Amino acid sequence: MSMDFFTEWDRVDASHTAQEICAAVTGRKIKFDQSVFPSSIEIDGKEILFAPITLTAEFGQLKGEMKKHKVILLEKTEEKVTYAIAQTAENLIVNASVTIEFDGFIRVDLRLIPFWSFDKDNVPRLTKLYMDIPIKNEFSTLMHFWPNCESGVCLSGRVLNSYATPDGSTSLPFKPYFWTGWEYGGLGLCCESDQGFEIKDPEQWISVNRGTEFTNVHIALLDDTPKSWRGRADHWGNNINPIMYSFAFQPTPVKRFDHKNLQNWRAFHLCYVPKSPIFEKVTGKGDTMLEQIAAKGTKWLILHEDWTVLQNYGLPEKEEEFKRFVKDCHDLGMKLMVYFGYEISSLYPGFNEVGHNYVNKNTDGNFVGGWQREPMQRDYTVCYHSDYSHIMLERVRHVMEEYGVDGIYTDGTYVPWECANEAHGCGYRDDDGNLRFAYPIYAVREHVKKLYQLVHERGGRVDTHQSSCCMMATLAFADSYYDGENIQGMIKEDIENLKLDSFRAEFMGRNMGIPCNFISYTEQGFTMPIIAGITLLHNVYPRARTLEDLEFTSHIWQIYDEFGTADAEWHPYWEQNEIQSDHADTYISYYKKDGDRLLLLTCYDKQAKKVTLKLDWEYAKLCDLLDPESGASVCLDRAEIPVTYAQVKIIAFKGRA
């Protein structure tokens, strides 16, 4: 794989000694100092670790001291560097393979092996094993994990899995992904399954303990001697098997984040494609649906799943009409993005032969998913650990080259859904022979890396829908993400069900390095001004799905262009205190340019009709850009702003008094 199409990243810069590894990737530096885990992680020049990440082995009352550390270089390219590490603790050998990739993905594969000798004392003495990740408190104010409930394929619509790091101690059961950080970065931890974890309380696999100086993320691996080691001596020809674990660390953001990227990512998402007149040939009079969408300043038109007659097969019903439609989009100054999702259709040619291998299966051997759509078909969840990865890549190649589409919108593709399909190597058998599922993180990562390269080779862009799963091991290889579907019902009841700290952790994109659009299912009473009330505070666009909603987002784009937000300073509510409200439930973010201000304000006081602002300067005039007749006024450094609960206000302050 060439770095030529991964232009957002720097090449890996790595060096080592017999005891130490130092590596630099885009915006981050990682160091291993006599350890199999990172001892130092810098993000934009800031050390985020309070102390080195440690692997601790206990032998009864004794904590084993790691000795005989040795680093061996195995491979070094511009994309990645791989080392072997050997060390010991008491009568335990610790071996590891460490690979650091250009996006900051750090994979550590561990093998723990008892000493072997002709001595009688060749019985394992290991009694406990755990990992500790101590992060300075200022860099661990937020957290995110996935999935948000017990199952990765049936997400809860009422559980937020992103929020402020709680004080004291918080425990979680096994999660394949856990991230903690702050508004501008953090550290993620991946693990594909709970195989090899033997702990007394499965609900305390992860313990997050926030102290006065640092937050410690504690991962319990063993609470006793491994079952397969107990009461056994190690004999030649009848060995005690190693216990093995695989973890991946990834500091974020995975790319350099530029808020200007948002200005170029202005999308309209069209669902129910066959029921719309979107394929009508343009007339030049502005009266077709396509012309109306383009006239609103839309840069990208996204067609949802039913643009193709076979789910995820990339086959429009009328191919010549579709090619003409793509040309019409380009002539109107828009780019076209089409849907590819996480499913294989029962209409897929060869389904009888390959279906059982390609699909995601549960531990009972049954297919997962099964969405039904017209023309009549069932669409089952696929697993990219199977050969289906090659099929999807070939179909994406086909639609970009045959029809000239400009990008791919993926649905669920970047999510490593739990799978137990042994036919393609997913899942594992526990000590009792029971089949357990795994999360194919590494396979999905390699799939989307190839997808990203394929699309970028053709000058395209990848947008992905991955609601609730901000796993950067995969999400690094998207240009933008589309989040929030699973909680739409909850926030329709009251937008305050989506807490601001949750938004900063999961939906803002800045801490990840990937721009985000927020899913917006508007209905009576649940409108774009309400959704924008929380999204625009974080410099995130709500994505329109109807022409009525596009009218609102188009107005926002116009306001931003006229003010020049792409070249302005951004001052978010969690940092700025120059502009203050007399209501504690009012949140204010603003852009600053040449002395002028563009204010984004939302009040979550249901009783408030007006707020008074103390400004950072004396201004000559203001304009309520969404409601010029609202009666908003300014006098020197005081402003009176009429408000409606949870709806965004956009106020321009101009001219020094």
Query: pLDDT tens across 302-342, in order?
Result: 999 999 999 999 999 999 999 999 999 999 999 999 999 99
Tell me how far apart the alpha carbons of residues 619 and 612 are, in angstroms, rounded to a whole number.
Answer: 14
Average pLDDT of the segment spanning 22-45: 98
Higher pLDDT residue, 232 or 223? 223
182 domain-assigned: yes
Higher pLDDT residue, 2 or 403? 403
Average pLDDT of the segment spanning 32-41: 98
How confident is the model at residue 1, as a pLDDT? 66
Looking at the fold, whether 319 and 458 belong to one and the same domain comes out as yes
Whether the model pTM is above 0.75? yes
Among positive and negative, which fits the CA dihedral 38, 44, 47, 49?
A: negative
Among positive and negative, which fits the CA dihedral 500, 505, 507, 511?
A: positive
Q: In what order do the strands lie in the sheet with 162-164?
A: 67-76, 80-89, 92-101, 106-114, 243-252, 185-190, 177-182, 142-146, 162-164
Q: For residue 184, give the CATH number of its domain.
A: 2.70.98
State yes or no: pLDDT of 512 exceeds 90.
Answer: yes
Three-state secondary-structure class, residue 452? helix
b/e map of 123-161 (b: 16 or more CB within 10 Å)? bbbbbbbbbbbbbbeebbbbbbbbbbeeebbebbeeebb
State yes or no: pLDDT of 203 exceeds 80.
Answer: yes
How confident is the model at residue 155, as a pLDDT? 84
State yes or no: pLDDT of 420 exceeds 70.
Answer: yes
State yes or no: pLDDT of 52 exceeds 90.
Answer: yes
| Contacts of 484 by beta carbon, 8 Å cutoff, 6+ apart | 467, 491, 498, 507, 518, 519
How confident is the model at residue 118, as a pLDDT? 61
59 domain-assigned: yes
Residue-wise pLDDT for 82-131, tens only, equals 999 999 999 999 999 999 999 999 999 999 999 886 666 678 999 999 99
Radius of gyration of the chain (CA): 27
Looking at the fold, whether 105 and 236 belong to one and the same domain comes out as yes
Please give the tally of structural domains in the chain.
3
State yes or no: pLDDT of 657 exceeds 60.
Answer: no
What would the DSSP string read from start to end of 419-448?
B--GGGT--EE-TTS-EE-B--HHHHHHHH
Looking at the fold, whether 211 and 272 belong to one and the same domain comes out as no
Higher pLDDT residue, 467 or 216? 216
Looking at the fold, whether 165 and 302 belong to one and the same domain comes out as no
State yes or no: pLDDT of 170 exceeds 80.
Answer: yes
Tell me how far apart the alpha carbons of residues 181 and 404 are, in angstroms, rounded to a whole number.
Answer: 40
* Whole-number percent of the chain with pLDDT over 70: 99
Q: What's the Cα-to-Cα distance from 625 to each of 1, 288, 335, 556, 622, rounded to whole Å?
A: 49, 29, 29, 9, 9
Looking at the fold, whether 104 and 216 belong to one and the same domain comes out as yes
State yes or no: pLDDT of 262 exceeds 80.
Answer: no
Phi, psi of 91 (to 5 degrees): -100, 40
Looking at the fold, whether 79 and 130 belong to one and the same domain comes out as yes
Domain of residue 64: give its range: 3-115+125-252
306 domain-assigned: yes
553 domain-assigned: no
State yes or no: pLDDT of 543 exceeds 70.
Answer: yes
How confident is the model at residue 656, as a pLDDT? 73
Contact 292, 283 (CB under 8 A): no
Q: What's the Cα-to-Cα distance from 498 to each of 141, 467, 534, 575, rounded to whole Å?
A: 17, 14, 9, 20
Residue-wise pLDDT for 139-148, tens only, equals 999 999 999 9
Contact 532, 543 (CB under 8 A): no
Closest-CA residue to 316 (of 380, 273, 271): 273
